[in-house]
Copies of this chain bind each other. A is one copy, B any other.
């Protein structure tokens, strides 16, 4: 009983100490962010520079442009060289549904990493594959394999629905090639029916023939499926000029705001600066990159004191190999003068934030949950254990606290990896709440030492 009382008493104390002063500070951070909306202005500029596919000129130019912005704000910046693979979509990617002499064009896009079709394209009959379980019994010899596995709309989190359907994208070509297919088209991983195909990375196995791989828009996947039912002998023609080139060097961008007491302890905030090239990566992950920059900006411009060093990292090439994250993690491990105590990533889009996923020890997670009431007025109420982000996960060890920002994701997979991922799909207020949430989180975690103490 006494234990219960002590617990209740300390909870009450936390309630008080978290009380009005901290709530007022949170209010101040969110108000400032929403009034100024500086991050959204930068995100608009970033998208204006064009797509930022790893290895492209625009990706590197975007980094150099914003390094100047960060320099002018007084952050200590540096570039970290990252070698990235270079795959180019090429001038043409087209598909047609062919019935006798009739051809109807379908919206299609090459999957990242695909080999091209032969010059002039290829044409074959199509076998629809409703699930990976159905593959075994299908004969794909000389055919185009058509994976048509929709994202399940009944999932509340579209992220789970994506996870349950994404195998057709990364493994479809591999599995279909084993069974003799000459190409693969998949249903775009989109949560709505539209005419904008979604790209994304795919892989080949070394010992299996590499066949061209592309995604049809969900609209065209529905059309193809329906037409196949009445005309099983229809053909699809596919013509894509994508190609692999030599790897090139690009960069991670790093910017520090030095801590006053423990500058050797690093609190990292991050997003990835590369994007797919159909849109301009406004949500994926321009929003995350700008959440990180606006976090540093708010902390500095509001003169919020930090004991530890707050570091921004814009990782290069999350989309196509995590090269930047791997390079950064190796260098962090090798540097005995610094210790990463917290790493935060935003890579779920610029929508209203609703929670944090925390990869840390149970005591740290419990401690963080005590602060939930401070975040709730701003819509952030889900503090869940496990999962953070693909880039910062490379830093994982027994001591670091990894945190991923979790926004509302009902609209995310309508634009993700497609030509629709542009600034017009981002709402300034929704985006800005993400930055404010991270700034408030960094402030409170640093002040109250919500991480493992560093060992000398």
Which chain A residues have a beta carbon within 8 Å of chain B's beta carbons?
Answer: 30-32, 34-35, 37, 153-156, 158, 191-192, 352, 354, 376-379, 381-382, 408, 410-411, 414, 427-430, 433
Contact = CB atoms under 8 A, between A and B. Distances in A.
A282 to B, nearest CB: 15
A352 B408 contact: yes
Contacts of A428: 192
A153 B31 CA distance: 8
Nearest to A30: B156
Contact of A352 (B352, B378, B414, B429): B352
Contacts of A411: 427, 429-430
A382 B354 CA distance: 12
A301 to B, nearest CB: 15
Contacts of A354: 379
A381 B378 CA distance: 12
A183 B382 CA distance: 50
Contacts of A154: 30-32, 34-35
A348 to B, nearest CB: 14
11 contacts: A37-B153, A153-B429, A156-B378, A191-B429, A352-B352, A376-B381, A379-B408, A381-B381, A410-B427, A411-B430, A414-B427
Copies of this chain held together in the complex: 2
A154 B31 CA distance: 4
A391 to B, nearest CB: 26
Contacts of A408: 352, 379, 408
A410 B31 CA distance: 14
Residue among A31, A34, A381, A427 with the highest chain B CB neighbour number at 10 A = A34
Residue among A153, A154, A378, A410 with the highest chain B CB neighbour number at 10 A = A410
A411 B427 CA distance: 7
A4 to B, nearest CB: 9
A411 B377 CA distance: 17
Given A156-B378, A381-B381, 6 more contacts: A37-B153, A376-B381, A410-B427, A410-B429, A410-B433, A411-B430
A35 B151 CA distance: 11
A360 to B, nearest CB: 22
**Lowest 7 A-B CB distances belong to which pairs?**
A31-B154, A410-B429, A381-B381, A35-B154, A34-B153, A410-B430, A35-B153
Residue among A37, A156, A414 with the highest chain B CB neighbour number at 10 A = A156
A235 B401 CA distance: 61
Nearest to A352: B408
Contacts of A379: 354, 408
A191 B432 CA distance: 14
Nearest to A1: B1
A230 B410 CA distance: 46
